[in-house]
Chains A and B, each alone.
Chain A
Amino acid sequence: MPQLMRAFNVFSNSYQFAGLSDISISQDIPVEGEITIPMRSRIREFDSSTLNESVQNTIMRDLKAVGKKFMHVLYPRKSNTLLRDWDLWGPLVLCVTLALMLQRGSADSENDGGPQFAEVFVIIWFGAVTITLNSKLLGGNISFFQSLCVLGYCILPLTVALLVCRLVLLAKPGPINFIVRLFVVIMMFAWSIVASTAFLADSQPPNRKALAVYPVFLFYFVISWMILTFTP
């Protein structure tokens, strides 16, 4: 700021004898200087200090962030935390857990079994990428990784459903067994959809909300189907 005043003073000094009427403001007044945001230096300080902290601190901070996001999914409220600081650790952990638990223990040489590990992985990640691309192509203003983050984290209720299903399957098989599993899967499916639309629906223009939400519905429906038809 002081540089600007100095430049202006130079100009006014040179026109001193011509009088003020000759000074035209539309002439180019050279403006120099640097605009610094005071925050930046603080952030830089912060960054350099994380290099020196202990490994436990770093890991705990990331784990806390992941845990906080899990809480956000379990109690979906409209908050920006999930969107702002996206991370893909949670989705990766959930996806791997889901894919591992969907493996059947028996060494089945038959081809028409349940989904293989790679199939589950591919369905989840390519499904999430496709939904994100679809949402962006329709004109949504959510970033690519934010959307992946939300979709991945909202698989948490379905992973819980799979755990419950596996436990229920240890009991005697029969129609009651199936009804319990069906009920649990339906509840968790609804929970996933509600949680993800709470975060994603706002980013779409209002006349296209249904178009963006339907693929999410299809995605979680397919995952729920894989969970429901799991037979050990």
Chain B
Amino acid sequence: MAAVDDLQFEEFGDVATSLAANPDATTINIEGPGETPKRLGPPRGSGREEDDELLGNDDSDKTELLAGQKKSSPFWTFEYYQTFFDVDTYQVFDRIKGSLLPIPGKNFVRLYIRSNPDLYGPFWICATLVFAIAISGNLSNFLIHLGEKTYHYVPEFRKVSIAATIIYAYAWLVPFALWGFLLWRNSKVMNIVSYSFLEIVCVYGYSLFIYIPTAILWIIPQKAVRWILVMMALGISGSVLAMTFWPAVREDNRRVALATIVTIVLLHTLLSVGCLAYFFDAPEVDHLPTTAVVPNQTVVAAKSS
């Protein structure tokens, strides 16, 4: 690169060509790739209408574009997976809060995820839930059978693997099935709102958060308390899911839309009731004293049968 005239600016041409000419030269890239998606946050005014929040009209094009822009690395590089963990602490807390307080009319995906779905939340919430259920189940069984002379405490470690299989299968296979179903319906009916697979996984993951305190409270060996907790948890997380997916199916045939929402809530119910039934022994009707064990045990057996 000869400077013929010292007073004239040299044309270095395109970055690519100059790099090709001189591969060892360093170039400064001022425009970072991470800047574009983040600009999505602040310019959104709070004066948006409800419909926009639900439908995300001009939003969905932008989010599709930006989602495409963000994941530019090929899938076999580490950087590709780093884009799924691009969340800060306060963002994770915000998303958890959003899953705990479903506001009617606010869509969890549009409000909190905003085309930045993360895998941190779903993965660690599921991991915590697995251990919460296994440990709480173990504790609750221990407390229920505390007085019995014939009861020998076992840590029941097998149940951790079973819990892990159930929870992770639910958190990944059900979103996959739902995504496939929505994709299929999208090809038949033009839906305004469509979610990517990761956004669905994200919603499901964060909606499972309510079950962590529920599982801990299930230690209380009262049937009524447990069922009230089931209802409350189901109400909250079910409504988050229903409000998220209603805009995606409401353009469709009425029956199909309703059936989808009902199926989502039903599967959620199945998960919670199944976990309650399998990991937590039924609390006894009476808490019996430890003296005179044998005749009381037969009485209890007669009562529970």
Contact = CB atoms under 8 A, between A and B. Distances in A.
Q: Among A115, A221, A226, A229, which residue has the most Cβ atoms of chain B within 10 A? A: A229
A207 B1 CA distance: 45
B18 interface: no
B92 A211 contact: yes
A195 B177 CA distance: 43
Interface in A175-216: 207-211, 214-215
Interface bracket on A: 20 to 34
Contact of A110 (B92, B124, B154): B154
A114 interface: yes
B131 interface: yes
A207 B3 CA distance: 47
> What interface size band does chain B fall in?
20 to 34
A27 B120 contact: no
A231 interface: yes
The main secondary structure of chain B at its interface with chain A is helix
Interface stretch (B108-116, B155-163, B165-173, B242-250): B155-163
Contact of A115 (B1, B3, B131, B155): B155
Contacts of A27: 2
A113 B157 contact: yes
A137 interface: yes
B81 interface: yes
Given A111-B158, A218-B131, 20 more contacts: A26-B1, A112-B156, A112-B157, A113-B157, A114-B154, A114-B157, A115-B155, A134-B124, A137-B82, A137-B84, A139-B85, A208-B89, A211-B92, A211-B120, A218-B124, A218-B128, A221-B131, A226-B155, A230-B155, A231-B154
A113 B3 CA distance: 80
B286 to A, nearest CB: 23
B127 interface: yes
Given A208-B89, A211-B87, A218-B131, A137 B155 contact: no
A139 B87 CA distance: 10
Contact of A24 (B3, B81, B138, B156): B3
A207 B89 contact: yes
A225 interface: yes
A214 B124 contact: yes
Contacts of A138: 85, 120
Given A137-B82, A137-B85, A222-B131, A112 B90 contact: no
B262 to A, nearest CB: 35
Contacts of B157: 112-116, 119, 226
Contacts of B154: 110, 112-114, 231
Interface of B: 1-3, 78, 81-82, 84-85, 87-90, 92, 120, 123-124, 127-128, 131, 135, 138, 153-159, 161
Contacts of B156: 112
Interface string A13-52: 0000000000010110000000000000000000000000
A225 to B, nearest CB: 6
9 contacts: A26-B1, A27-B2, A112-B157, A112-B159, A113-B155, A114-B154, A114-B157, A225-B131, A231-B153
Nearest to B89: A210
Nearest to B156: A112
Nearest to A210: B89
A60 B90 CA distance: 48
Nearest to A230: B155
Given A114-B155, A215-B124, A137 B81 contact: yes
A208 B89 CA distance: 5
Contacts of B3: 24, 26
A225 B139 CA distance: 11
A138 B89 CA distance: 11
Interface string A145-165: 000000000000000000000
A128 B85 CA distance: 18
A221 B135 CA distance: 11
A65 to B, nearest CB: 30
A85 B89 CA distance: 31
Contact of A207 (B90, B131, B159): B90
